[in-house]
Amino acid sequence: MRAAIRAEAVKLTHSLVGVIATLAVVVGMLALLGGITAGVAGGNPDLAAKAGPAGTLNWDGLLAGAAQVTAVAAILGFGIVLAWMFGREFTEGTIAGLFALPVGRARIALAKLTVYALWVVVVGTMLTVGVLVLGLALGYGSPDAEAWAALGRLFILALLSAGITGPIAWIATVTRSVLAAVGCTVALVVVAQVGALAGAGGWMPFAAPALWAMSGGAAVTASQLALTLAVPLASVLLSCLAWSRLQLNR
């Protein structure tokens, strides 16, 4: 199992997909927040109106904007990486070689998910620290207790967003396609947005993490947020089961 985890870690860390996704989620979000701040500070009324709570030049505004951007960017970035990790074996034809390994295919799938989870923790940490550094650089001063709590929610939002992309691993396996899995990643974002607008709120696992983070924890109960954890758990089971039943001829 350790050998499988090391192998999957090497694949991810040496791939352009992993590097670009990390930069897109972390650097891209910080650049976007910086741009919004610059526009609002420059007196752009249209931008300030569109930014809403994120248009205030303080920790509250910065963290509100960070939660809004992370709610979408994290699902897209994490989902694309997960689609690549599982789908590449089929598109690049390396799946045949995995059948010759002494490690069971279910364990290989679990190794992929383990490496994915570790990468997500790293990216989530970089994201949270980056927002903290940006706020200090903008002169907002030391965060108060409320700002620290919002930073904690931002980190948890990144982890939960990665968790709800779990079905992408199963989709990439059953379809044997990276593109199909990427398409489903986009669909997850749409489902989350539509669910929130339709009033499903916290009872929709794909929308609950974003609503929880953006409302400061007020719009989603603990039980509703806990329901979100069922998505990654079910995804792990389905993905490992699908890999254990893989056949070269479909």
Looking at residue 35, its pLDDT comes to 82
Structure tokens at 105: 């295919």
**Span 159-186, pLDDT tens digits:** 999 999 999 999 999 998 899 999 999 9
What is the average pLDDT score of the chain? 86
Domain limits, the chain: 2-244
| Cα–Cα distance, 46 to 39 (Å, whole number) | 9
pTM confidence score: 0.90
**Span 63-116, pLDDT tens digits:** 988 988 888 889 999 999 999 999 988 888 888 777 777 778 889 999 999 999
| Cα–Cα distance, 189 to 81 (Å, whole number) | 15
Q: Give the closest residue to 83 by CA, choosing from 213, 184, 217.
A: 184
Q: Which range has highest mean pLDDT (4-13, 60-69, 126-135)?
A: 126-135
Place of tokens 């694949």: 11
Residue 250 confidence (pLDDT) above 80 = no
Looking at residue 199, its pLDDT comes to 58
